[in-house]
Amino acid sequence: MMQDFGQCDGKRCTGRKLCRLGYMKDMRVGQSFRGVVLSPMGERSVSAEDREHVIASGVSVIDCSWALIDSIPFSKLRGGFHRLLPFLVAANPVNYGRPLKLSCAEAAAATLYITGFKEEAEQVMSKFKWGHSFFEVNRTLLDRYAACANSAEVVKVQNDWIEECEREQANKHPADDDLLIANPNHANRGSSAGGDDDSDSEEDEDEDDDDDDDEEDEDEDEDDEDDEEGSDDESDDEEGSEDEEDSDEDEEDSEEELAKDMKKKATIKASGNSSRGGRGGRGGGRGGRGGRR
């Protein structure tokens, strides 16, 4: 059920949407109701103890604006079991992230969840695109509330949770002051100074690495030049060895030609001696002829 005070935007009102879909019924202000009524008039928190009231008569929410809540005549609300909702965080687009600023749909779903109707609660929120966010944000708390036997236990769980959040907030690093994501542009002197040192050191290391790489490249270039010079020397040595072989072959050829020439000269000389010897004989003959003369 929903008691509408006409203060909300009809296009954004989650309660009116649930009425159109048949999940809620609109009731007159002051109309008698015997179920669980979620209102500031309550003195106890909703808990598993209210399950029977929900089964018998359902849940009623008050559709009004949080900005005008002080103007609501709660004294006109008659009957029912007035209950308070424990600490929960809104996930609707209007008040996302704000504690206790729940929409009508979120309030009804939370009541159903805590009193043991988890499937029905998820079915109600499935009618909204952002409905899953409500359970993602509050699942842990809702499960703890649902496990409580009575209102006193629910209040204790709520207070313990709030104290835990306050301790975490007090011990949280200043750079992590965002609710969901730390702001990377947060001007934190300590962390930024350290970050600058780290970045400088990393840049220095990068420069050193670059210098080392350059030196290694220069060494490699020098090695390549040495290898090229070595290969040139080897090619020169090979050419020199080829020239030596050619010169050796030329020397052998010249020696062979020289030997041939010497042999030829020796042959000519020998033949000359033999001819001269014949002449000498003839000379001797001449001498003989001269004696005869």
- Known binding residues: 14, 62, 85
- Spatial CB neighbours of 80, under 8 Å, sequence gap ≥ 6: 33, 34, 35, 36, 37, 57, 60
Give dist(CA 247, CA 256) in Å, integer.
Answer: 14
Q: For residue 135, which of 83, 180, 91 has the smallest C-alpha distance?
A: 91
User: Which residues contribute to the annotated binding site for S-adenosyl-L-methionine?
Assistant: 14, 62, 85
Give dist(CA 220, CA 206) in Å, integer.
Answer: 20
Strands of the chain (E only): list them: 2-4, 26-27, 36-38, 59-63, 81-83
Give dist(CA 149, CA 153) in Å, integer.
Answer: 7
Instruction: Report the run of H or E that residue 121 belongs to, with start and end.
Output: helix 118-125
